[in-house]
């Protein structure tokens, strides 16, 4: 236990140091042009920024719809507005906290407050939501890697079989995710999940979360709809990022090449090497976009990160403000009830 308490802060510091080192390297080598970010923030291309922001909101609305589908399959009813609010809040925390799972914990804890006999089952739906999102990204990333292998057959990267290995790894990861989906029906797998969730959820909620995951995993119709939504929302997100690419102020490669590289970069960016993958995703974008003849990858991704964070930030602030009010209410002394009329202290 003592070693674990020491390792976690050390890992957090190392992740922050790596993020700073990557951003510093990109800026020093000229791969990260902060003038593009400044131009975006000052409204240099308002139409591109507005289109990107609108597509991001559509992306998050689709993610909220996927969450609602999986919640319903787990036996939990939640309104569209609630799911959208939690999705936007989760995005902020996934971007800001180490490990890229902070937003999922925020959603799970918020869903525990829903009315019903077993609201903890919603946490299982959040886990399934994460799995379906990963499966959608892996599928599109794998197909994109295969496209790039053929498209860039003469490039040193493709000749070195780098993209082929990336595609094979993505296929293996997809197999792992599918296996997890199948294991959601296994009592042993749910028991393992319950042990892990018990460290992050209140007592009793971990048991319900494992049960919710198992219930959602048996509803193949809902899983199919969630997978379809995952594919569409990833493509909408890519469209938003490419709409913002105009703010980089440099010639751009063909749209199909940019979209394929973007999906591969997004897949590689899921590795939690830095807080919110800051710096790591921009580094991958620099390498990926360079393979298709563009030096704007890191700049475009940084602009996208800043824009999406600014758009979703109000929901994060509202969540923190609500928690602050709830904490104040919990600490406030309860009013002393007045005695009924006509009664008094006896002598």
Residue 5 pLDDT exceeds 70: no
**Secondary structure (3-state) at 91:** helix
Integer Cα distance of 242 and 244 in angstroms? 5
Of 90-94, 185-189, 242-246, 248-252, give the lowest mean pLDDT range.
185-189
Supply angle C-alpha 321, 322, 327, rounded to 5. Answer: 100
What predicted TM-score, i.e. pTM, was given to this entire model?
0.82
Ordered by start, the domain boundaries in the chain are 31-320
Return d(Cα 88, Cα 53) in angstroms, integer: 13
Q: Is the pLDDT of residue 268 over 90?
A: no
Return the higher-pLDDT residue of 230 and 192: 230
Percent of the chain beyond pLDDT 90? 26
Residue 220, pLDDT above cutoff 90? no
Mean pLDDT, rounded, for 315-332: 70
Measured CA to CA, the distance from residue 95 to residue 85 in angstroms comes to 16
Burial grade of 143 (CB within 10 A; 0-12, 13-18, 19 or more): middle
Is 198's pLDDT higher than 90? no
Quote the pLDDT of residue 311: 94
Token code pair at residue 230: 């995952």
- Which whole-number Å values give the CA distances from 149 to 143, 282, 290, in the listed order? 10, 22, 15
């Amino acid at each position: 236990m003592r070693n674990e308490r020491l390792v976690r802060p050390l890992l957090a510091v190392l992740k922050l140091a790596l993020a700073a080192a990557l951003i510093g390297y990109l800026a020093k080598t000229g791969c990260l042009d902060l003038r593009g970010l400044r131009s975006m923030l000052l409204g240099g291309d308002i139409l591109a920024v507005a289109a990107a922001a609108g597509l991001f909101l559509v992306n998050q609305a689709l993610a909220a719809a996927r969450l609602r589908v999986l919640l319903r399959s787990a036996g939990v009813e939640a309104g569209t507005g609630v799911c959208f609010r939690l999705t936007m809040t989760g995005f902020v925390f996934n971007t800001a906290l180490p490990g890229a799972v902070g937003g999922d914990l925020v959603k799970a804890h918020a869903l525990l407050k829903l009315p019903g006999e077993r609201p903890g089952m919603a946490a299982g739906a959040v886990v399934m939501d994460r799995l379906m999102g990963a499966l959608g990204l892996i599928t599109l990333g794998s197909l994109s890697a295969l496209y790039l292998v053929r498209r860039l057959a003469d490039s040193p990267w493709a000749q070195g079989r780098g993209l082929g290995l990336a595609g094979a790894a993505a296929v293996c990861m997809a197999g792992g995710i599918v296996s997890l989906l199948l294991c959601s029906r296994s009592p042993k797998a749910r028991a393992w999940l319950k042990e892990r969730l018990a460290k992050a959820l209140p007592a009793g909620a971990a048991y319900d979360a494992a049960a919710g995951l198992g219930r959602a995993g048996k509803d193949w119709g809902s899983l199919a709809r969630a997978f379809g939504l995952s594919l569409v929302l990833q493509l909408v997100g890519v469209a938003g990022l490419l709409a913002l690419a105009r703010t980089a102020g440099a010639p751009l490669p063909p749209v199909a090449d940019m979209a394929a590289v973007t999906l591969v970069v997004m897949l590689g960016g899921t590795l939690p090497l830095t807080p919110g993958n800051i710096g790591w995703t921009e580094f991958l974008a620099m390498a990926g976009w360079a393979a298709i003849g563009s030096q704007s990858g890191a700049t475009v991704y940084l602009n996208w990160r800043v824009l999406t964070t600014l758009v979703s930030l109000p929901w994060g602030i509202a969540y923190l403000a609500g928690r602050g009010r709830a904490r104040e209410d919990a600490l406030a002394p309860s009013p002393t009830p007045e005695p009924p009329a006509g009664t008094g202290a006896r002598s």
